[in-house]
Amino acid sequence: MFFSNLALFYAFRKRLIKLNILIAVGILFFICVILSISRLGQLLFLIFYAIEFGRYINIFSLKGAIKSLFVLPVVLALVYILSTMSIGGFNIGARFISAFEVEADLSTIERYGSSQALFNLLKDKSLLLGVGMYNFQYYIKDYLPAYMDVLYYPRGASPASFNFVLQMIVELGLILFLIYMLLTCLILQRTANSFIRFWYFYLFLFSLSFQTLNFSIPF
């Protein structure tokens, strides 16, 4: 949904669809994300809308800054109303805030613990050379933080990577990853199509909290 939403906005910017279509489908996406109770999904959509709105009104200009002052109270009021709603036994506001609490639930524990383990593995083995593509799972269990003891992984199983960027650094090594990012930025800089540049930018943000290889749409 996130990448479909991104494509929807750029279809409007390229004048492939009309404003009423953008608003109608955009509202549908927004409702679906709220109903999904996906905390990271909601956070990604908030970041996306904030960035795109800032670019649309040119927020760093005086006129754009003034416009944002009129819109901000409406946004805050909407966020407050949503935060008081409950769906499927979950309060939306409390559930969203729980995404920033390490031990909120087993899902949150696994996400934070996996990322922390990848970071520890990076410091120990991947500052120069990496452990090899798809090999992080052979090492990660030795670097899991203590609070992940509530989760059990049988022999041959290990936690998934919830941070694809960290996984890439661990597997490629810091030096090769930096070379990869440098080459990527140079290629994107020469790309005339702004949609491709921002597609990659949002894919990078997406990858900070999701295992991108599980999703076929971004590719």
pLDDT of residue 82: 84
Distance of CA 182 to the CA centre of its chain: 21
The per-residue pLDDT of the chain, averaged, comes to 85
Higher pLDDT, 215 or 45: 45
pLDDT digits (tens, 9 = 90+) for 91-128: 888 888 888 888 878 888 888 898 999 999 999 998 88
What is the rounded CA–CA span in Å between residue 219 and residue 212?
9
Contact in structure between 160 and 114 (CB atoms under 8 Å): yes
pLDDT of residue 96: 83
Share of residues in the chain with pLDDT > 70 (%): 96
pTM of the model: 0.77
Q: Please state, as a whole number, how many other Cβ atoms lie within 10 Å of the Cβ of residue 142.
A: 11
pLDDT of residue 182: 93
What is the rounded CA–CA span in Å between residue 50 and residue 57?
11
pLDDT of residue 68: 81
pLDDT digits (tens, 9 = 90+) for 135-184: 888 898 889 898 888 888 888 788 888 888 899 999 999 999 999 999 99
Tokens encoding 4 = 């479909």
Nearest residue to 162 (alpha-carbon basis) of 119, 127, 112: 112
